[in-house]
Amino acid sequence: MGIITATSSNDWVCPLKVTLPDFSKAKILVIGDIMLDRYWHGGTSRISPEAPVPVVNVQETEDRAGGASNVALNISALGSRVTLCGITGQDEAADSLSKLLDSHNIQCAFDQRAHQNTITKLRIISRHQQLIRLDFEKDFSLQSGVNLELVSELVSQHDLVVLSDYGKGTLQDPQSIIQAARKAGKPIVVDPKGSDFSKYQNATVITPNQSEFDLIAGSSSSEEEFLSKGQTQRETLKLDALLVTRSEKGMALFEHDHEPFLQPTQAREVFDVTGAGDTVVAALATGLASGLDLKTATQIANLAAGIVVAKLGTATATRQELLNVMLQHQPLSQGVVTETELLDLIQKSKATGETIVMTNGCFDILHAGHVTYLKQAAALGDRLIVAVNNDDSVRKLKGEGRPVNPVDQRMEVLAGLASVDWVVEFTEDTPARLIGECLPDILVKGGDYKPEQIAGGDAVMNNGGQVIILDFVDGVSTTKIIEKARG
């Protein structure tokens, strides 16, 4: 059996060769077991006279979204629009959850029932230690599951459906939801629960962890056996794909007519795995709803999981954090670039919050003055772009016999400087159009100019950027070097 791996090295380098799509265009419906995680914090200084237990003086309370609510939070953190549907009570806990989720731009479509309690998990914490957890819940499975008429109406309004099953009874009939989604042409991602996955047949993809997978397929004595079982389970369940999350082993993706794709773990440091599964489901769903294929969406989910396990407590990964991690593992190329390549690099660089500096010139014979000037320009930001006059424009500016060095050689020399990130040629008499396309944060020019006199300066300033004038090194110029060489 062939196996596709992202890399054979333990020092994983992100293999993504794509730009993150606009997640904000995706509309995702999350259906599942909604829970409220409640934390009461306080000091403890004595033992109760009524029983041998500590007395906690509660000084701080905190409510967090749990269960399927946390999946919705993760989707919202990535920038997509999300609706959460599930069973709650008509109680204070449901009101608290609704306010919390609304503050994160999550649309609530609760199936509220007077005879039910919203599932609430109360943790009493003192000195960073959990003393006890109190669960308030009725088994929804004793009643009917989520309202299927409500679900069918919501499915038609969204691009993708997520089923977040915690085994509390909201998803008593997942097949009806899966069939409704399939009929509407909507992909459906399932975070499964239990030892019977047949109820999730015909989903687009399900995402069990290794323990959940072993529970339904049996433990494997070798990697080959595991891969074989993965393909078999995918076929048996009639899934488009099966994604198994494997903790320190990363992820394994099984698709129809594809070899297994093994994705090594991205996490460098693991502080807390709480909620990592929710993040995987959320990122995978967001990627698919935004038009990515399963393999690319899996890689993004792996990146997101690596971000959240490096945080304490239940956490989310943002689009900005994803961009930052992608840039760490796949550094932007440097050197001589075309205008098209430059604009793409600027977009990626700005997305990570970097400051772009740009300057321009002929740089016919590179000398100490140029080197000092470019170092000073580079120190103003994170990336330095040097736009270079082509040979015809140098000839117009400097006269016949110039340039001494053709443009390709001038650019290569500039690209070799540690201070310079990208070098690009421009063919017009001035770089005004190019600067207007690039819109750097800072435009730098050397010499005795006023900002309004500098080509492209108005476009930069109108965009909220700066124009900065730097002094040239006295007594050093290309013209003087040429005159001296001619004797």
CA–CA distance, 37 with 41 (Å, rounded to integer): 13
CA–CA distance, 121 with 115 (Å, rounded to integer): 18
CA–CA distance, 183 with 188 (Å, rounded to integer): 11
Predicted confidence at residue 7, as pLDDT, reads: 40
CA–CA distance, 239 with 241 (Å, rounded to integer): 5
Kindly report the length of the chain. 487
Say what the pTM is. Answer: 0.72
User: In Å, what is the CA distance from 453 to each residue of 356, 444, 467?
Assistant: 21, 12, 10
Pairing state between β 119-126 and 34-47: parallel
Task: Give Rg (Cα) of the chain.
Answer: 29
Predicted confidence at residue 474, as pLDDT, reads: 57
CA-nearest of 409, 440, 446, 448 to 425 is 409
Predicted confidence at residue 483, as pLDDT, reads: 53
Predicted confidence at residue 399, as pLDDT, reads: 78
Q: Among all residues, which ones are annotated catalytic? A: 278
Q: Six-digit token pair at 186?
A: 């909507």
The DSSP code for 293 is: -
CA-nearest of 11, 72, 61 to 266 is 11
Predicted confidence at residue 264, as pLDDT, reads: 83
Q: Which amino acid is at 195?
A: S
Could you write out the three-class secondary structure of 333-391? CCEECCHHHHHHHHHHHHHCCCCEEEEEECCCCCCHHHHHHHHHHHCCCCEEEEEEECH
**Mean pLDDT of successive 10-residue stretches along the chain, which has 487 residues:** 43 51 94 95 93 94 94 95 96 96 96 92 91 87 83 95 94 95 97 94 96 94 95 96 90 93 69 68 96 93 83 74 76 89 89 88 86 93 94 84 86 94 93 95 85 88 93 59 52
Pairing state between β 27-32 and 160-164: parallel
CB atoms under 10 Å from CB of 130, counted, come to: 10
Q: In sequence order, what are the residues at sequence separation of 6 or more whose Cβ sits closer than 8 angstroms to the Cβ of residue 248?
A: 265
For residue 433, with 0-12 CB atoms within 10 Å meaning exposed, 13-18 middle and 19 or more buried, which class applies? middle
Which residues make beta-bridge pairs with 109?
85
Q: In sequence order, what are the residues at sequence separation of 6 or more whose Cβ sits closer than 8 angstroms to the Cβ of residue 283?
A: 74, 78, 297, 300, 301, 303, 304, 305, 317
- Residue 255 near residue 241 (C-beta atoms within 8 A): yes
Q: Six-digit token pair at 341?
A: 């390549």
- For tokens 């629960």, name the residue: 193
